[in-house]
Structure 1
Amino acid sequence: MRALVLNCTLKPSPEPSNTEALARVVTDELAANGVQIEFVRVVDHNVKPGVETDLGDGDGWPAIHEKVLNSEILIVATPTWVGTASSVAFGVLERMDAMLSETDDDGRPVAYNRVAGVVVTGNEDGAKNAIAAVSSGLIEIGYTVPGQSWTYWHLGPGAGPDYLDEEKGHDWSAKVGRQAAANLLGVARALAATPLTS
């Protein structure tokens, strides 16, 4: 089984990413259970705005789209900005919208029988709003989003230090992250054994 993390930080590589650091708590648990993990930092690619899979020359999304389709588990990891997910995360959902018209060999939407979860970090509140917004988009595209398939970290209210700069709250976020991994894997295995039909 394969899991893909789309890290929707605004920071290009090689800058440290708080969001990736927390996402690795989830993926470490998945990897410990035999799942192959891949990370993509979306801002390192030329992902054009739009709602099609391929927007032509220079578009970085088609290669990412292929990785999405090669993964049974998708994790959208995002920082919070102005109380919700990053613009990069919403751009990813916009590009994934094209998947609604793509079907598998059995005529089902390509997102069917795949699971998705969300990881959020931020130095102020907005995490649950970001989780709700991203999860809603993923459900509309066709993903199964298990219960408690997310984790987050912040030190709100008000601005504060970043995840990598502060240990407070890490234990809770890690515990919830490991549970999210278990729920994602459990539902992914169930769908593999008994797929949804169109």
Structure 2
Amino acid sequence: MINCTLKPSPEPSNTEALARVVVEQLEKDGVEVELLRAVDLDIAPGVTSEPMREGDAWPGVHDKLLQSRILVVASPTWLGRPSSVAQRVLERMDAMLSETDDEGRPVAYNRVAGVVVTGNEDGAHHVISEISGALADIGYTIPGQAWTYWHLGPGPGPDYLDDERGRDWSHRTGRAMAANLTGVARALAAQPVGAPPG
């Protein structure tokens, strides 16, 4: 799970708080989860999996993506859009479009992905669509209802950690999201998608 909050650790992250509901369900389903806070890492801008400069943390994140069958990108909503950190992560993942495995499949094939979004303004469905669309382009399988969100839009208002309203729905949706991701990941492991026809 990559948390794309703009808040560096140890500042509390609303996005991480909701994402942890998904993490808990994944772990109940036997999935080992690692949560990265991208803003804490020195991820250089670019569209390659190779280091862009000395100290670039992206190659290590890329290695983790290749070791994972499930990816969750979590982002706050800013101005109705994914965070700039989420955009940087997706731009670096763009390089995976041209990377293939030993059988000639794009490296994201047979991996599943979902999205968690928080914000105190409207726009969650737009953010989910942008991130899900990018992940599908890269080759991830996006199961049905592979997302959850929380917001009290429209307009400014309290944050997820400040208000209990709507949390029950977001948590139920988050648990369903985790179950769907796990189920489809297991199905793809048992019956992998082959390389695209030449």
Number of positions where the alignment pairs a residue of Structure 1 with one of Structure 2: 194
Q: Which runs of 4+ in 1 moved over 4 A?
A: none
Q: Give the superposition deviation at 1:56.
A: 3.1
The residue number in structure 2 matching 1:62 is 59
Structural mapping, 1:33-182, within 5 Å: 33-54=29-50, 55-182=52-179
CA offset digits 1:62-115 (Å, max 9, x no partner): 111111111100000000000011011111110000001111111111000000
130-139 vs 45-54, greater mean Cα deviation: 45-54
Structural mapping, 1:177-188, within 5 Å: 177-188=174-185
Q: TM-score scaled by structure 1?
A: 0.97
Q: TM-score scaled by structure 2?
A: 0.97
Letter matched to residue 32 of structure 1: K
Letter matched to residue 38 of structure 1: E
CA distance in 1, matches of 2:141, 2:29: 20
Q: Which runs of 5+ in 2 are unaligned?
A: none
CA distance in 1, matches of 2:85, 2:125: 17
Q: Which runs of 5+ in 1 are unaligned?
A: none
The residue number in structure 2 matching 1:31 is 27
**Structure (1 or 2) with the greater strand fraction:** 1
Matched, 1:192 2:189: yes
Corresponding residue SS for 1:36: coil
Letter matched to residue 68 of structure 1: L
Letter matched to residue 93 of structure 1: L
CA distance in 1, matches of 2:169, 2:160: 13
Corresponding residue SS for 1:147: coil
**What RMSD over aligned residues (CA atoms) do the two structures have, in Å?**
0.6
